């Protein structure tokens, strides 16, 4: 069942169109990531959902209740929406316990018990209850911010780049903790992030924005395997793009004949492969090569993650194709080696 409906939301600042007719439906309990390049409208969308901005047109309905649109505008504090910001935005003069319990009535029965439960939920040691924010690490501060937002049992949680100030290891741990806590509490969440890897691993739905428009919306696996266009393909990870000629379910390209989805229009197109779909093997002398054949132009040794630049000469082209292919250090060929390139899975045909 749709829990949050974002229906044709638009917002401009003077001549700048920040959001252009955005439609997104979110299911209850799901985790959605909003990604896109700088200035694509991510923050504006989050601020409209939170109630800090008013859309020019369109409507916003949360669990059957209109929050914005059709002459209605519910103020931010009456929306039942929790927010965790990039810097945590904790109250510096309050203890951890009082930060977490900030929205709970001071003498409400069970207040202390609730704070203890929330601290356990976000894996904060009980001895930290009496500390103040400056006595905590960045990750601990974010846990307090999450606990404070959860204390009010929000129907929707907005996460505005909550991990961006943390270093890589802590970022991964926090991302997993937050995903687990949200799942356990059944809270629907929207994460805004610049980090595509974070979006793909955190969310069960990803919305890609570009220049105020929704380019694609769907599960991470679908977006990664079947991006709409070359920009989205490159944005969501490394992409190998090749010119190809499509006929039925085949693409003829520098790597030979590859399988593509059925039912596509015949003719010239750009196809995309992810690097992990390509396998390199050294062509043993005298054996008949399988797949495409190329010559190693350059190698970049990186231990378990090496990059091999392969040159493929084609009789039908004046210029050779160069492909960067990943392989592990134990299997890395030498410059000048003849190699076979085989492709696993289907190639994806891009829309542009």
Ligand X SMILES: Nc1ncnc2c1ncn2[C@@H]1O[C@H](COP(=O)(O)OP(=O)(O)OP(=O)(O)O)[C@@H](O)[C@H]1O
The residues of the shown chain that bind ligand X, judged by CB under 6 A, are 13, 16, 18, 36, 38-44, 194
CB of 225 to ligand X, least distance (A): 25
Residue 46 beta carbon to ligand X: minimum distance, rounded to whole angstroms? 8
Please identify, using beta-carbon distances, which residue of 40 and 142 lies nearer to ligand X: 40
47 vs 114 by CB, closer to ligand X: 47
User: Which residue, 60 or 104, is less far from ligand X as judged by CB?
Assistant: 60
Shortest Cβ distance from residue 214 to ligand X (Å)? 12
- Beta carbons of 262 and 249 less than 8 angstroms apart: yes
Q: For the CB of residue 168, give the shortest distance to ligand X in the complex, in Å.
A: 20
CB of 87 to ligand X, least distance (A): 14
Toward ligand X, which CB reaches closer, 42 or 155?
42
Question: Which of 11, 155 has the CB closer to ligand X?
Answer: 11
Task: Find the shortest distance in angstroms from Cβ 13 to ligand X.
Answer: 3
CB of 233 to ligand X, least distance (A): 19
Cα dihedral angle (81, 20, 12, 5), rounded to 10 degrees? Answer: -20
Cβ closer to ligand X: 16 or 135?
Answer: 16
Decide whether 216 or 277 has the Cβ nearer to ligand X: 216
């Amino acid at each position: 069942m749709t829990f949050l409906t974002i229906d044709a939301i638009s917002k401009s600042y003077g001549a700048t169109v920040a959001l252009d007719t955005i439609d997104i439906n979110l299911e209850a309990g799901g985790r959605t990531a909003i990604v896109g390049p700088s200035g694509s409208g991510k923050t504006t969308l989050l601020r409209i959902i939170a109630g800090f901005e008013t859309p020019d047109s369109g409507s916003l309905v949360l669990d059957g209740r209109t929050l914005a649109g059709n002459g209605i505008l519910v103020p931010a504090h009456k929306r039942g929406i929790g927010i965790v910001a990039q810097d945590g935005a904790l109250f510096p003069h309050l203890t951890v316990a009082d930060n977490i319990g900030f929205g709970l009535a001071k003498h409400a029965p069970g207040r202390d018990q609730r704070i203890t439960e929330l601290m356990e939920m976000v894996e904060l040691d009980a001895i930290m209850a009496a500390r103040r924010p400056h006595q905590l690490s960045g990750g601990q501060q974010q846990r307090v911010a999450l606990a404070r937002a959860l204390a009010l049992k929000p129907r929707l949680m907005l996460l505005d780049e909550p991990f961006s100030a943390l270093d890589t290891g802590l970022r991964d741990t926090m991302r997993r903790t937050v995903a687990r806590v949200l799942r356990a509490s059944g809270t629907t969440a929207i994460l805004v992030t610049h980090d595509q890897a974070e979006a793909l691993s955190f969310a069960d739905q990803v919305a890609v924005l570009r220049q105020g428009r929704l380019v694609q919306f769907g599960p991470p696996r679908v977006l990664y395997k079947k991006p709409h266009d070359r920009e989205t393909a490159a944005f969501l990870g490394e992409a190998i793009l090749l010119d190809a000629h499509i006929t039925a379910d085949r693409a003829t390209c520098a790597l030979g004949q590859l399988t593509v989805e059925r039912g596509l229009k015949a003719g010239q197109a750009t196809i995309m492969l992810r690097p992990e779909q390509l396998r390199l093997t050294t062509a043993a002398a005298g054996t008949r090569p399988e797949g495409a054949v190329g010559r190693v132009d350059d190698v970049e040794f990186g231990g378990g993650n090496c990059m091999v630049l392969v040159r493929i000469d084609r009789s039908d082209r004046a210029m050779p194709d160069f492909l960067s292919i990943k392989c592990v250090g134990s299997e890395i060929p030498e410059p000048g080696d003849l190699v076979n390139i085989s492709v696993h899975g289907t190639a994806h045909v891009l829309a542009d």
